């Protein structure tokens, strides 16, 4: 229960370093599936390093919000990540908050991201912000319902405790409510990380872009923090999915070094498997028309609601 500076430091470093690698891996695999050679998985590190060195061009209409937003986006993603158990079950900041804090922090980051799109008064940014808000208005309740379903089964909104309690009962994995919740969470993951049926992460030049439209005015150091923050947010959401629904091999409190090692390997394998599924979904699907996206997300919402329902009726 005590605050452990070592795990705190370890998880911070893991979040910072693993996130760009994961984005790079997904980009690389996607290219491979499309018969392209693709960027190397560690290319994203070089991109961020380059952005950090470059000068910034800031619109003369931009206010202080524009300069504050990259730090808020980056830090909220990082803090949310510290509340999710990654390798060992008590997450470093578990005393600070559970599921609600994670969702709240991510929502705060999204709020500032949308503000920063509106702030420099560019037409594209405003469009991106309004789209992001439209999508998150449906995606967020679906995510909350899906996580609450698991929280009810575990009897706690503390993510570390959820992970531990789902770990002890192996067959809980096959609980129908969890299947419904997982399906809903997966759709939400695609929407929140701007993946293909909802948004195309590989484009800067489309009228349909969402996330990129908000970042269009950013350059240099701010852009680096924005991109890095987005990568961390993606890692956090994937960790949430992987460790809450499949907490196989997650090390408990006061675990030995060997148990931590096994836990790390299991975590990486699960993460890469989930990324592979995301890559396959992205490659085999076409991007949806923006007005069709609520159809997909409402499916996720209804699935999450049904998951919640079936835990109450047949707990």
Partner 1 sequence: MNPPVPPEIGSHVIPLMAALMLVVQMLLIAQRMLLTSIRLFAIQSLLLAGIAAVVAYYYNASHVYVVAVLTFIGKVVFLPWLLNRLVHRIQIHQETDPLLNAPSSMLVCGALTLLGYSVTRPFTSLEKLGSNTLAIALALLLTGFFLMINRRKALTQVLALLTVENGVMLAAVALTTYGMPLVVELGIFFDVLVAVMVLGILVYRIRENFASMDTGKLDQLKG
Work out how close the CB of 301 gets to partner 1 at its nearest, in angstroms, rounded to a whole number: 8
Q: What CA–CA distance (Å, rounded) separates 306 from 291?
A: 24
Nearer to partner 1, 103 or 296 (CB): 296
As measured in angstroms, the least distance from the Cβ of 208 to partner 1 is 19
| Pairwise CA distance, residues 62 & 52, whole Å | 20
Measured from the CB of residue 23, what is the shortest distance to partner 1 in angstroms? 28
Q: Which of 21, 171, 189, 221 binds partner 1 (CB under 8 A)?
A: 171
**Would you count residue 65 as binding partner 1 (CB under 8 A)?**
no
- Distance between CA atoms of residues 55 and 34, nearest Å: 35
251 bridge partner residues:
88
Nearer to partner 1, 50 or 292 (CB): 292
Q: Name the burial class of residue 4, with classes exposed (0-12), middle (13-18) and buried (19+) by CB atoms within 10 angstroms of its CB.
A: middle
In whole angstroms, how close is the CB of 313 to partner 1 at the nearest point? Answer: 5
What are the tokens at 160?
């570390």
Does residue 180 interact with partner 1 by CB under 8 A? yes
User: Given the structure tokens 């067959």, which residue do they identify?
Assistant: 171
Euclidean distance between CA atoms 135 and 314, whole angstroms: 31
- Give, as ranges, the residues between 103 and 142 that touch partner 1 (CB under 8 A): none
Q: Which of 183, 248, 260, 272 binds partner 1 (CB under 8 A)?
A: 183
Window 199-258: residues binding partner 1 (CB under 8 A): none
| Interface map 258-297 toward partner 1 (x if CB under 8 A) | ----------------------------------x-xxx-
179 binds partner 1 (CB under 8 A): yes
* Shortest separation between residue 106's beta carbon and partner 1, angstroms: 23
Report how far residue 117's alpha carbon sits from residue 51's, in angstroms, rounded to the nearest whole number. Answer: 19
Among 57, 123, 258, 313, binds partner 1 (CB under 8 A): 313
Size of the site for partner 1 (CB under 8 A): 23
Is 28 in contact with 192 (CB distance < 8 Å)? no
Smallest gap, in angstroms, from Cβ of residue 297 to partner 1? 8
Q: Using CB under 8 A, which of 104, 155, 176, 261 touches partner 1?
A: 176
CB 191 to partner 1: min, Å: 14
The DSSP result for 164-225, as a single string, is HHHHH-GGGGG-HHHHHHHHHHHHHHHHHTT-TTT--TT-SS-TT-SHHHHHTT--HHHHHH
* Beta carbons of 241 and 189 less than 8 angstroms apart: yes
Residue 204 token pair: 């800067």
209: left (phi over 0), alpha (psi -120 to 50) or beta: beta
Does the protein bind partner 1 through residue 309 (CB under 8 A)? yes
* Interface contacts to partner 1, rule CB under 8 A: 171, 174-177, 179-180, 183, 292, 294-296, 298-299, 301-303, 305-306, 309-310, 313-314
């Amino acid at each position: 229960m005590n605050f452990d500076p070592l795990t705190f430091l370890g998880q911070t470093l893991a979040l910072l370093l693993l996130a760009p690698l994961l984005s790079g891996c997904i980009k690389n695999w996607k290219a491979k599936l499309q018969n392209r050679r693709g960027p190397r998985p560690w290319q994203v590190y070089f991109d961020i390093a380059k952005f950090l060195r470059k000068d910034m061009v800031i619109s003369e209409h931009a206010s202080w919000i524009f300069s504050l937003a990259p730090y808020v986006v980056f830090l909220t993603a990082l803090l949310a990540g510290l509340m999710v158990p990654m390798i060992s079950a008590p997450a470093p900041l578990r005393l600070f908050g559970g599921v609600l804090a994670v969702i709240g922090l991510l929502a705060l980051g999204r709020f500032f991201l949308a503000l920063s799109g509106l702030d420099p008064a560019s037409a594209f940014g405003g469009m991106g912000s309004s789209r992001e808000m439209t999508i998150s208005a449906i995606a967020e309740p679906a995510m909350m319902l899906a996580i609450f379903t698991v929280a009810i089964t575990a009897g706690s909104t503390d993510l570390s405790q959820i992970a531990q309690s789902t770990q002890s009962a192996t067959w809980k994995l096959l609980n129908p409510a969890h299947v419904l919740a997982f399906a809903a969470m997966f759709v939400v993951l695609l929407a929140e990380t701007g993946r293909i049926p909802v948004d195309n992460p590989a484009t800067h030049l489309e009228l349909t872009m969402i996330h990129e439209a908000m970042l269009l005015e950013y350059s240099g150091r701010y852009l680096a923090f924005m991109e890095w923050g987005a990568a961390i947010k993606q890692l956090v959401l994937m960790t949430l999915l992987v460790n809450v629904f499949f907490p196989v091999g997650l090390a408990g409190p006061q675990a030995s070094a060997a148990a931590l090692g096994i836990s790390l390997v299991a975590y990486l394998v699960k993460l890469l498997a989930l990324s592979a599924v995301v890559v396959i979904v992205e490659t085999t699907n076409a991007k949806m028309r923006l007005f069709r996206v609520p159809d997909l997300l409402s499916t996720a919402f209804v699935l999450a609601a049904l998951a919640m329902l079936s835990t109450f009726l047949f707990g």
